[in-house]
Amino acid sequence: MILTCPQCGQRNRVPAARVADSPKCGKCKSALPPPAQPIEVEDVASFDEIVAGSPVPVMVDFWADWCGPCKAVAPTVSRLARELSGRAVVVKVDTERVPALAARYNVRAIPNFAVFRGGKLVAERAGAMGERELRSLVGV
C-alpha cells in the first residue's frame, strides 16, 4: 500500500500488515498516518495484499465510472475513509479496470460494498447506501 508523507510528500510503500504500526517515512522519518482516503486498487495482487494483511477491517467499494449511484455515494465513501482512518481501511475497485476481482466476488450489481476482516469476507451488500448504513456494515 502506498502512503504519502504529510511532511515531505514522499510516497512510501508500506506492507498492509504494518499500516497500524505507525510506520515512518523513508525520506524524512516522520510518522505516516493511516490512510484517510479511499485506496484505488488497480490490480489483484495489491487487493490481496491489503485484504490479507490489514490488521483493521477493510471496506471495499466495487464501482464503475459509468455508474450514477456509484458517483452519488462516492463523497460518503470518502468521508467514511477519513472518519474511520486507523480503525478501518477503505478500498475502491473499479470493476471495469479490475474485472477479475468483480468476478471473484460474484459482483452482479454496483455499487457493491464488501467488508473483510482477517482476510475473510464477513459482510456484503449491493446498492447505494447512506453513511449510517455503511458504518453499520463495517462494524466500527
> What residues are annotated to the active site?
67, 70
The kind and range of the H/E element at 81 are helix 68-83
For cell 464503475, what's the residue?
64
Q: Kindly tell me the number of DSSP H helices and DSSP E strands found in the chain.
A: 4, 7
Who's near 134: CB < 8 A, 6+ residues apart?
59, 76, 77, 80, 113
CB 61 within 8 A of CB 125: no
Which of 116, 122, 124, 136 lies closest to 54, judged by CA? 116
